[in-house]
Amino acid sequence: MAYASPATSLTIAPSPFGLGAFAPAAGIPAGSLLCSISSSLCMTVGRSARTPLGRLALAAFPPGRGPPAEFLLLLDMALGRADPAHRDHAFLASLPAKPADAPSWPACDRRLLAGTNLAAGCAASSAALEADIARFLPALLALGSGKFGALRGGKGIRWARACYRSRRFPASLIQGEAGDGPGAAGGDGGDEKDVGILLPFMDLLNHRRGAKIEWEKADSDDGRISFRASEDVRGGEEVFNNYGSKSNEELLMCYGFALRDNPDDAYRLKLGVGGGEERVELGVFSIRRGGVEGVEQFPKALWRALASLYEEEEEEEGGEGGAGGGGEEGGVEGGEGDVAVGIEEVELLLATLSRRLEPFDETRAADEICERGERGETQREAAVAMYRCGQGEVLRQAVQTLKAML
């Protein structure tokens, strides 16, 4: 509240999502200012790098071989939480000691994700962070100044990364800061365009799909970032942010919750050909729910990747090129030109997705009971069930569409 006062009329209180921001009894008319934070109070990569410890950390490595931008912010967060004299200690100490994002779950809960894309994503995310810790932390501890001693073991850095991923906003909200990625998005560090900023108080606003929000950027390094209501809010109601159109996999990965019957659900299909050292990766493609306005169920890039397999086969056999390998072709319309789709591509994709659907069909009945919480399931168990039900539904709709195409 100290960060936002007196520029907010909101109050902080328990909500079904932990803590939330609530409108006053008189309500809030559309267009009203909800809260406003000075950009000088935000935590950013640039400011973390300019602190004495940030400069010391960068000086410990040869030029171009130091920690990525995001890692410096994580160091600042971990050290600030442990140091009462740090400028942002009060804010950092108020953050959850046990983050809710799926990569931070204990092993007993991570087992709920076994066999899913999210399980693989959590493992890859954790491995990337551990690699950064192993690469950079020993050199910082070796400086011998004791200033980085609070980071020993890496626990504080792991906590910082989890809180950062679930609370970051676009760095573009402050003029001159690197980054224009989506607010509160996931993704690993190292690429400055994806680096975000931390906004105290504003990070308490929970997500509601379709919530109408309006952000006002800070036009200078000491300007204010403001958040206005784009719709009326009745007295005592919770005020929501909108994290964007995110699938349950993305929501669990960064925030630890899922939405039942999420229209933004997607199944990430990783395709490759060959095996071992000869394997060639074609890419990762998001297959989305059908029937959602403005959403492409199958991305054109997927059809192009599948078509390339048959084009290579024809070249080897001395055939005349063509996406369909000589079979009948249809068209996928819209976007950057139509894409010719042959029977072979449809049959291959149908066989692949049918196999991926099998484990979700096997647990479908149990998952549907679990997501409704009919047997006293924990919040986490119900969220995983929502995720599994969504994955199954996306695949089920995709299989139906492909069968209709044949």
* Residues 123 and 222 occupy one common structural domain: yes
The pair of structure tokens assigned to 260 is: 């039942």
Total domains in the chain come to 2
Nearest partner of 165 among 122, 134, 208, 131, judged by Cα: 122
Q: How far apart are CA 175 and CA 177, in angstroms?
A: 6
Residue found by looking up tokens 């919750």 in the block: 257
* Residues 180 and 269 occupy one common structural domain: no
Q: How far apart are CA 163 and CA 168, in angstroms?
A: 8
The number of angstroms, rounded, from the C-alpha of 360 to the middle of its chain's C-alpha atoms is 23
Using the predicted structure, report yes or no on whether residue 2 has a pLDDT greater than 80: no
- Segment 127-131 shows an average pLDDT of 96
**Cβ atoms < 10 Å from Cβ of 197:** 26
Task: With H, G, I as helix, E, B as strand and everything else as coil, classify residue 19.
Answer: strand
Q: What is the pLDDT of residue 279?
A: 77
Instruction: Determine the length of the chain.
Output: 406
* Residues 85 and 195 occupy one common structural domain: yes
**Cβ atoms < 10 Å from Cβ of 387:** 28
Nearest partner of 290 among 260, 264, 252, judged by Cα: 264
* Residues 282 and 233 occupy one common structural domain: no
183, 188, 192, 196: CA torsion to nearest 10: 30
Using the predicted structure, report yes or no on whether residue 365 has a pLDDT greater than 90: yes
Q: How far apart are CA 302 and CA 314, in angstroms?
A: 19
β-pair partners for 340: 331
Q: What is the 3-state secondary structure (H, E, C) of 105-118?
A: CCHHHHHHHCCCHH
Give residue 275's domain range. Answer: 258-405
148 falls within a domain: yes
DSSP 181: P
Reported pTM: 0.86
Residue found by looking up tokens 């005020």 in the block: 239
> What's the start-to-end Cα distance of the chain, in Å?
59
Using the predicted structure, report yes or no on whether residue 284 has a pLDDT greater than 90: yes
* Residues 151 and 207 occupy one common structural domain: yes
H/E element, 241: strand 238-241
| 238-241/206-207 β-pairing | parallel
Q: What is the pLDDT of residue 327?
A: 44
* Residues 266 and 232 occupy one common structural domain: no
Contact 371, 340 (CB under 8 A): no
- Segment 200-224 shows an average pLDDT of 86
Percent pLDDT > 90 in the chain is 63
Query: pLDDT tens digit string along 89-127?
Result: 999 999 999 999 999 999 999 999 999 999 999 999 999
Q: At what angle do helices 379-405 and 343-362 cross, to 10 degrees?
A: 150
* Residues 161 and 122 occupy one common structural domain: yes
Of 239, 269, 299, the last residue of a domain is: 239
The most confident of 168-172, 195-199, 205-209, 361-365, by mean pLDDT: 361-365
Q: How far is CA 354 from CA 31, 285, 406, in A?
A: 48, 16, 14
Residue found by looking up tokens 């709709």 in the block: 397
Q: How far apart are CA 301 and CA 336, in angstroms?
A: 10
* Residues 280 and 214 occupy one common structural domain: no
Q: How far apart are CA 276 and CA 56, in angstroms?
A: 43
Using the predicted structure, report yes or no on whether residue 318 has a pLDDT greater than 60: no
The pair of structure tokens assigned to 146 is: 């004791």
Using the predicted structure, report yes or no on whether residue 145 has a pLDDT greater than 70: no
4 falls within a domain: no
H/E element, 282: strand 280-288
246 falls within a domain: no
DSSP 196: E
Query: pLDDT tens digit string along 11-24?
Result: 999 988 788 999 99
Residue found by looking up tokens 């096997």 in the block: 362
* Residues 177 and 326 occupy one common structural domain: no
Using the predicted structure, report yes or no on whether residue 298 has a pLDDT greater than 50: yes
CATH number at residue 42: 3.90.1410.10
2 falls within a domain: no
CATH number at residue 324: 3.90.1420
Q: What is the pLDDT of residue 148?
A: 92
- Segment 145-152 shows an average pLDDT of 86
252 falls within a domain: no
244 falls within a domain: no
Nearest partner of 46 among 24, 72, 65, judged by Cα: 72
Query: pLDDT tens digit string along 26-72?
Result: 999 999 988 889 888 899 999 999 999 999 999 999 988 999 889 99
Q: What is the pLDDT of residue 83?
A: 95
The pair of structure tokens assigned to 49 is: 């790098």
249 falls within a domain: no
Of 210, 239, 268, the last residue of a domain is: 239
Nearest partner of 290 among 374, 395, 201, judged by Cα: 395
H/E element, 229: strand 224-229
Q: What is the pLDDT of residue 218?
A: 83
Ranges 116-120, 166-170, 290-294: which has the least confidence: 290-294
* Residues 98 and 147 occupy one common structural domain: yes
pLDDT top residue among 63 and 319: 63
* Residues 262 and 234 occupy one common structural domain: no
351 falls within a domain: yes
* Residues 82 and 197 occupy one common structural domain: yes
Ranges 142-146, 217-221, 299-303: which has the least confidence: 217-221
Q: Place 277 in a pLDDT band, splitting at 50, 70 and 90.
A: confident
Of 209, 239, 269, the last residue of a domain is: 239
